[in-house]
Amino acid sequence: MSLTIPDLLFLAIAAFTVVSAAGVAFSRNIVYSAFSLMGTFMAAAALYVFLAADFVAVVQVLIYVGGVLILILFAVMLTHRIADVRVSNRSVGRLPALGICFVVGAMMLTAVMRGGWHQGELQPAGPTTAEIGNLFLTHYLLPFELASVVLLAALIGAVFLSRKELKDS
């Protein structure tokens, strides 16, 4: 076994990711799940760094952890009487779900193993921001603009939905 330090590091981060994800899936307390989710996000960001995607990693931390997670926590707080245990994380129909998950997992692992992935040359890891910026404004201009439209729509939609709720309550 010629595991180098990076490999070990990778294994550690991968393990952390998996454990956090399991925590999200199997935790009974929704708040515990939320925090595990944070852990997963962080670990994912670390994995991104491993994949020489520095900008994406930073964005991941910013958006996911700093945005989505906070949002989820807010939602949890707003909809959940902390003292109320009854409405919680109870899972239903575990066995069929496990069955499906098992099948899917098996299929995916099979695909990975039997993949025959064509691998190209590994470029040296370097800063990617400039390149991504370039691409956004040249090749991917249209999706970029459309994305902003989508965000606008989401913004308006969210405002609309929550305004109605606020009025009712």
Partner 1 sequence: MTIGLNGFLIVSAIVFVLGLYCVLTRRNAIGILMGVELILNSANINYLAFARYGGGSYDGQIFALFVIMLAAAEAVIGLAIVLGIYQTFHTIDVEATETLRG
Partner 2 sequence: MHDLIEVNYLRWIPLLPLIGAVINGVPGVLIQKNWGKRAINAIAVTPVLLAFCISVYAFFQLLGQEPEKRYLLDHMWTWIDSGNLKANAAFAVDQLSGVMILIVTGVGGLIHIYSTGYMHDEKSYWRFFALLNLFTFSMLVLVMADNLLLMFVGWEGVGLCSYALIGFWYQTYENASAGSKAFIVNRIGDFGFAIGVFLIFWTMADAGHPTITFRDLAANISLIDGKTFLGVSVATFACLMLFVGATGKSAQIPLYVWLPDAMAGPTPVSALIHAATMVTAGVYMIGRMNFIFSMSPTALTVVAWTGALTALFAASIGLAQNDIKRVLAYSTVSQLGYMVLGMGVGAYAAGIFHLMTHAFFKACLFLGSGSVIHAMGGEQDMRKMGGLRKWMPYTYWTFLISTFAIAGIPPFSGFFSKDEILWKAFSSEHGSPLLWMVGFAAAGMTAFYMFRQVFMTFWGECRADHHTQEHLHESPPVMTYPLVVLAALATIAGIWGIPESLGGSNEIEHWLAPVFHAGGHGAEHHAAHGGIIEYALMAASVGVAALGIFLAYLMYEKKSLSPDTFTELAGGAPYRAIYNKYYVDEFYNAVFVNGLLVITRLCAAFDHYVIDFIVDGAAYVTRFVSWVNGLFDAYIIDGIVNRIADVTLGLGTRFRHLQTGSINGYLYVVVLGVVLVMVVRLV
Q: Which of residues 19-38 bind partner 1 (CB under 8 A)?
A: 21-22, 24-25, 30, 33-34, 37
* CA-only gyration radius of the chain, Å: 21
137 binds partner 1 (CB under 8 A): no
Write out the two tokens for 164.
């109605």
Write out the two tokens for 168.
């009712």
With a CB cutoff of 8 Å and minimum separation 6, the contacts of 22 are 36
From the list 30, 25, 14, the residue with the least C-alpha distance to 98 is 25
Question: x/- site string to partner 1, residues 91 to 120, per CB under 8 A?
Answer: xxxx-xxx-xx--xx--xx--xx-x-xxxx
Q: Among 12, 51, 82, 141, indicate the residue that binds partner 1 (CB under 8 A).
A: 51
Q: Cβ atoms within 10 A of the Cβ of 43, count?
A: 20
142 binds partner 1 (CB under 8 A): no
From the list 97, 96, 92, 45, the residue with the least C-alpha distance to 66 is 45
Q: Among 8, 104, 147, 161, indicate the residue that binds partner 2 (CB under 8 A).
A: 104
SS3 label, residue 53: coil
7 binds partner 1 (CB under 8 A): yes
Distance in Å, CB of 83 to partner 1, minimum: 14
> Which amino acid does the sequence have at 168?
D
Q: Which does 94 bind (CB under 5 to 8 A by kind): partner 1, partner 2, none?
A: partner 1
79 binds partner 1 (CB under 8 A): yes
Q: Among 39, 42, 63, 137, indicate the residue that binds partner 1 (CB under 8 A).
A: 63
93 binds partner 2 (CB under 8 A): yes
Write out the two tokens for 87.
């409405």
Interface residues with partner 2 (CB under 8 A) are: 92-93, 96-97, 100, 103-104, 107, 110-111
